[in-house]
A and B are shown apart, each in its own frame.
Chain A
């Protein structure tokens, strides 16, 4: 690791000013589980590391008047998996957080970090896509919100500007008859990145699929929103055949890389299998049954 200066701003305004002052030299750090590894490997060599740890309120979990779930960027994975509010209002996010790495990592790694790191193999982004989450960003110019499925632009790349800080996410309320599932395929060891992961959320209405969300991790250069699968499900009865046919459509949109976790054809086939399984589990969680 190369030498760097370390700054701990006390307010978000001060943090933003620090970013402006140091420009491209600066990197934000929260839990450090991503950045420190990159620095150790000298893939990233910031001259200045700006810590967000002292910023008050950025780790909070709240419900607003419209029942939107608001979660601060510094909220740890451990909090996401154990918070009663998250478990009640976004069980999919809690489940995805629970499946991340080890408890040591989850205690340090933050929601904001997981989002802005934009590693397509990670667990939270597919869950957030399936939850229609919006990413909140703040810059000296003000605030903006970006729908999460428009947030990721490439491998480790997002729409975040150099002067912006991700401050949190907002998750809209789900209908009462909604069920969700997060499946992480780990055929090698339990502590690994997914060979493929699938987040699914299904809303049922009188025995048919009113709406569905399907997103995949480790399936492309960004977390993948499988709209084509969702379109095929909307308004359909949840039959095994419908799920199979809808899941098969994901085969055309996944673009995984071949590595020691599997070849491209294998990962594609597994994406189809796990989309179908996740939809089945989500339907069961919504109180429905695959017929």
Chain B
């Protein structure tokens, strides 16, 4: 742990605005859709209008005759490769069959988007419809149509399963299954005095980033392939692209671009492999930009699913045993997640509770619907809605206050988590209490007003390798080259603050550049709440090395040993009292051929972190009994945090996440009918607006215990998780209506209230 003994202005703890912010708000920032190269063409794709069909024939001849069209390709024109983040099951263009409405079948490169679209309108595809299945439970039935005939042929195939055994042999459209056990579930349930069982339904939702997926591809005369892509993990994208193109990785360069929001949805190749094949076919650079209808109908929204929970408790409200069965709809392809299974669904299925006997089974099932992907704390929002609603329902049945029930069961120092982790500095109860206190949990409420609580735990990301390169230039500025993309979270700013802090430099003297994959150090990239921790650590190593090098330079100048030199407030001070300021040292170094001075850092995770983060939220709602309309009056978000490196961007993460969670609680629903997304534009897919945001109180329960630089923790994937449960619990508290499916619409509450009136 760093000693926070510093002199001069501190950068850590400064509310610095995003370093790349001015470029973004003045339109100078370059996004993938802005890439323009000489001779560049527009790429567009024709998508399937059938959920499941055999492609009988494709006639491209009329499309090829459209003026301005330079290439028209179908799956038959491509090598037989499939792409994916882990499981590689999605073809670049459909071959022989389509598996969802929106699957790409034919692609065109043309001089204008209109010419491309006109060409696509002239493509004649003959389909033979196949039986389709849209519901994951129906898809697992023995007579369900098989969506993939030979899944075992895919790279990282869905079978054999994780967890040792399969209950789904032969293959029954189960893309992945994960079974986690601890203790003895049967014995635990046998000793329980009460057993509660509830089932919850969660819909698909879209990440809602402002920037739709975009990419560009250009092939150099030397065969070098340049790719621009709105992707949060450029190095991993390069690996996947090289595999898709059948070339060595060094032939592919992924170039930095600004990213207009990611929220977990920008980890795939999306159209970029296709864009390359269009560039190859047309011998021109090609750009592809999805429109928002394509995003909503054929992006990679969050997994929908059905979650069944069964929990055994003692009469006094102690949880003994807990069983979770999670059946997620992964759509037609499993390619959009970077692991075999939806990790967060398993991890959050037992919540932050002390439970001796557990069984969790999490499935992803293929259906003929839009493929599902990752979305901010993947798996956890769905699962936490179920778990935290379930906990309230149990507390209610036992006649206990929901807060008291949780406080009785949450982990305390010394406990092992349900997942077998041993965390230190566990402050779960403290965080819950902080949220409840700020919300005045026990204060009187007007009629039809209710309060609900929800809690979630997530450890800082600690996986992969991060790298950083730091150079000192002749002006005395520090230039940090990172391979990480800033997806809009403020990671560049945090990295700059780490450099500034370590080298006692003004933040304005640190310049952050995203390097391309040829020039930057390997960087695993954004995801899993890892960047502040991992890239922050790598950056701190580079900055510490730079500091050591500067002290050595000063020692050369003073003609003494480096032990005899100290750096204090940007001055180098020898033990005999001689001093040199930063500028003079840089000038001296330039004269003595010591510039440019470059130091690198690389950081590899040392295993799972031994600390974690909690978020507890209280929602206060008011229900209009005549209409069922819910107004969220206010929300409290309490966070167990480490050193807050940048209070402004930290708060931005909390508020942004909370509003995202609010949208998923109240209005967002990617509706599907017979496999077709019917909420196909942002007029129908309802994201919350500024006017919908309730009064928000944030409580930070601070400590200097994080694994990141200067004892920071993660914040990006916490506040978005509990809102649906907290709001659903508050609605129950207000009017006695329990909703077990999202979103919480006025009509559902209205219908339930009218049914209650009839019963009484």
Contacts and interface: CB of A to CB of B under 8 A. Distances in A.
- Chain A residues touching B, range: 20 to 34
A287 to B, nearest CB: 25
A259 to B, nearest CB: 8
A247 B663 CA distance: 33
B628 interface: yes
A2 interface: yes
B727 to A, nearest CB: 14
B686 A185 contact: no
B395 interface: no
Given A187-B628, A188-B745, A1 B114 contact: yes
Given A266-B750, A266-B751, A187 B686 contact: no
B669 A189 contact: no
B687 A266 contact: no
A218 to B, nearest CB: 13
B626 to A, nearest CB: 5
B627 A262 contact: no
B747 A266 contact: yes
Given A189-B689, A191-B691, A260 B746 contact: no
A273 B626 contact: yes
A188 B667 contact: yes
A263 B689 contact: no
A185 B692 contact: no
A260 B684 CA distance: 8
Given A260-B669, A260-B679, A189 B686 contact: yes
Interface in A149-193: 185, 187-193
B260 interface: no
Contacts of A188: 666-667, 686, 745-746
Interface in B667-709: 667, 669, 671, 678-679, 683-684, 686-689, 691-692
B747 A262 contact: yes
A189 B688 contact: yes
Contacts of A260: 669, 671, 678-679, 684
Nearest to B293: A41
A187 B630 CA distance: 7
B629 interface: yes
A190 B692 contact: yes
A291 interface: no
B114 A3 contact: yes
A206 to B, nearest CB: 31
A210 interface: no
Nearest to B291: A40
A187 B745 CA distance: 7
A237 B567 CA distance: 86
A270 B667 CA distance: 18
Contacts of B688: 189
A262 B669 CA distance: 13
A189 B682 CA distance: 12
A192 B750 contact: no
Interface in B724-754: 745-747, 750-751
Interface centre among A102, A190, A193, A260 (most CB of B within 10 A): A260
Contacts of A1: 114
B687 to A, nearest CB: 7
A269 interface: yes
Nearest to B663: A189
Contacts of B684: 260
Interface in A1-29: 1-3
Contact of A2 (B114, B628, B683, B750): B114
B114 A190 contact: no
B627 A270 contact: yes
B692 A187 contact: no
Contacts of B114: 1-3
A185 B627 contact: yes
A263 B747 contact: yes
A202 B692 CA distance: 31
A189 B663 CA distance: 9
Interface string B373-405: 000000000000000000000000000000000
A2 B678 CA distance: 24
Interface string A242-282: 00000000000000000010110010011001000000000
Interface centre among B669, B679, B746 (most CB of A within 10 A): B746
Nearest to B662: A189
A9 B589 CA distance: 69
A125 B138 CA distance: 46
A193 B666 CA distance: 16
A192 B683 CA distance: 7
A3 B251 CA distance: 40
Contacts of A193: 683
Given A1-B114, A2-B114, A273-B627, A190 B689 contact: yes
A195 B683 CA distance: 13
A191 B689 contact: yes
Nearest to A192: B686
Contacts of A3: 114
Contact of B750 (A102, A191, A269): A269
Nearest to A276: B626
B747 A189 contact: no
A272 B73 CA distance: 56
Contacts of B666: 188-189
A31 to B, nearest CB: 17
Contacts of B667: 188-189
A217 to B, nearest CB: 16
A260 B669 CA distance: 9
B666 to A, nearest CB: 7
Interface in B628-681: 628-630, 663, 666-667, 669, 671, 678-679
A189 B671 contact: no
Contacts of B686: 188-189, 192
A270 B747 CA distance: 10
B748 to A, nearest CB: 10
Contacts of A262: 746-747
A263 B748 CA distance: 10
B746 A189 contact: no
Nearest to A2: B114
Contacts of A273: 626-627
A139 to B, nearest CB: 33
Contact of A187 (B629, B663, B687): B629
A1 B117 CA distance: 9
Contacts of A2: 114
A238 to B, nearest CB: 19
A260 B666 CA distance: 13
28 contacts: A1-B114, A2-B114, A3-B114, A102-B689, A185-B629, A187-B629, A187-B746, A188-B666, A188-B667, A189-B666, A189-B687, A189-B688, A189-B691, A189-B692, A190-B689, A191-B691, A192-B686, A195-B746, A260-B671, A260-B678, A260-B679, A260-B684, A262-B746, A263-B747, A266-B751, A269-B750, A270-B627, A273-B627
Top 7 nearest A-B pairs (CB, nearest first) are A190-B691, A187-B746, A188-B667, A191-B689, A187-B629, A266-B747, A189-B686
Given A260-B678, A262-B747, 20 more contacts: A102-B689, A185-B627, A187-B627, A187-B629, A187-B747, A188-B686, A188-B746, A189-B687, A189-B688, A189-B689, A189-B691, A190-B689, A190-B691, A191-B691, A193-B683, A260-B669, A263-B747, A269-B750, A273-B626, A273-B627
